[in-house]
Amino acid sequence: MDNRREIYLDNAATSWPKPETVYQAIDHYNRQIGASPGRGSHSRTIAAGEIVLNTREKLAELFNIKDSSRIVFTENVTMAINIGLKGLLDPGDHVVISSMEHNAVARPLHALQDSGVIELTIIQCAADGSLDPCLVEQAITEKTRLVCLLHASNLTGTIMPIDAIGKIAHEKGVLFMVDAAQTAGVLPLDVQEQRIDILAFTGHKGLLGPQGTGGLYIRPGQEIRPLIEGGTGSLSEQIYQPDFMPDKLESGTPNTPGIAGLGAGVEFIQQTGLERIHSHERELTDMLIEGLRDIDGVIIYGPQDSNRQTAVVSFNIEEMDCGRVSMLLDQKYGILCRSGLHCAPLAHRTMGTLKSGACRISAGFYNTKEEIDQVVRAVYEIACSNE
């Protein structure tokens, strides 16, 4: 690493930096505890178990989940989504998703469709990524088992009307699953109010934990088949997977240092306040959109309104390759963002950017207004240099 000053604006991929307490919690676990949670009964295994339980309970509080044992830890939201979909869906089921989904949802469902297990309907979103709940309602048939949606797009930040869709799904007797990768830790999530039956989240983005963490909530009464079986530290005398949560879906030694860090991330969010985090990110988003809008040749995608999107702003400069723009931002200005397709070809097709890709700037709680000013100036200079 050189000593150049960098501006990290790739928080939609993974947040950085983390709160100091997150680094401390990981270090504390690694140096002072280091034992396997739920395996054996010595004092440090108990201490490790307490860390895992504490994080589970903090997450339950954040998402208004009554019984924290309904949350299972996974290595990321991709794993959580796979466990949810593959453990739930049966042959003949029909699933409804949107045209803004990430590959984490689109690929497992296409694989299930291609192998003849399910039927899939993809609802077309508008050009700014927004989704009309009426279209979801119309797509539900007698065979529909699940509506599965992301809470906010990782390409445009567009926030989906999950409250309205949760209500529709509930009224129609269809399960509702939410991919909260882009919103957990930033937007309020309440599984009861929003009637979310299955919630998948990742730990390393808005929740401010380390990579290698994530989880899945499944509402009480809803059964999910395990994707992976193995040691749980419980009922070891029996050859079958335990039938109770969370052990049923949590086999193998977990990422305890990661879970310790995730717990500290959630604690930081609770102490700071979700509203404060969100309003800071909104301020940066508005600044960025306003600044980019004034630059000739810049095309911005998505709602362009911080009331309707998260702190994710994607754009292109006319006649310029998005990879070149982000390379110049990095090499000339030390601004780190992401270009390309963002693992979301469906969303890019919706935006009309499947061929070109786009440059994505995603601010986080630790970014400042001065940094956004610098980004706008840099994009202006790059756009001018292209004339």
Ligand X SMILES: Cc1ncc(COP(=O)(O)O)c(C=O)c1O
Residues binding ligand X (CB under 6 A):
13, 76-78, 102, 104, 150, 154, 179, 181-182, 202, 214, 343
Cβ proximity to ligand X: between 241 and 310 the closer is 310
Angle between helices 256-272 and 20-28 (to 10 degrees): 150
One-letter amino acid of 322: C
Q: How many residues does the chain have?
A: 387
Least spacing, CB of residue 124 vs ligand X, in Å: 18
Please, which residue, 75 or 132, has the CB nearer to ligand X? 75
Token pair 């991919």 is at which residue?
179
CB of 240 to ligand X, least distance (A): 29
Torsion sign, CA atoms 193, 198, 203, 206: negative
Concatenated DSSP letters of 86-122: HHH--TT-EEEEETT--HHHHHHHHHHHHTTS-EEEE
What's the CA gap between 148 and 145, in Å, rounded?
10
**CB nearer ligand X, residue 76 or residue 144:** 76
Closer CB to ligand X, 360 or 383, in the complex:
360
- Which of 294, 289, 319 lies closest to 306 in space, CA to CA? 289
Nearer to ligand X, 25 or 184 (CB): 184
For residue 2, how many C-alpha atoms fall within 13 Å in the half-sphere facing its CB?
Answer: 5
Name the β-bridge partners of 200: 179, 216
Q: What is the C-alpha to C-alpha distance for residues 193 and 5, in angstroms, rounded to an integer?
A: 44
Q: Is 362 helix (H, G, I), strand (E, B) or coil?
A: strand
What is the identity of the amino acid at 375? V
> Least distance to ligand X from the beta carbon of 157, Å?
10
Q: How far is the CB of 153 from ligand X (least distance, A)?
A: 7
d(CA 355, CA 126) in angstroms, rounded, equals 18
Q: Measured from the CB atom, is 181 or 277 closer to ligand X?
A: 181
Backbone phi, psi, residue 40, to 5°: 80, -170
Active centre residues (catalytic): 343
Tell me how far, at minimum, the Cβ of 9 lies from ligand X, in Å.
Answer: 15
* Cβ at position 194, least distance to ligand X in Å: 17
Looking at the Cβ atoms of 81 and 320, the one nearer to ligand X is: 81
Query: What's the sign of the alpha-carbon dihedral 143, 350, 313, 300?
Result: negative
Q: Can you read off the two tokens belonging to residue 53?
A: 């339980």
Helix then strand count (H, E) for the chain reads: 11, 13
Give CA separation, 289 vs 70, 156, 285, 297, 306, in Å. 39, 12, 6, 14, 9
Q: Report, in Å, the least distance between residue 307 CB and ligand X.
A: 20
Hey, which bits of the chain come out as E strands? 7-8, 71-74, 94-98, 119-123, 144-150, 175-179, 198-202, 214-218, 298-301, 312-317, 335-336, 338-340, 358-362
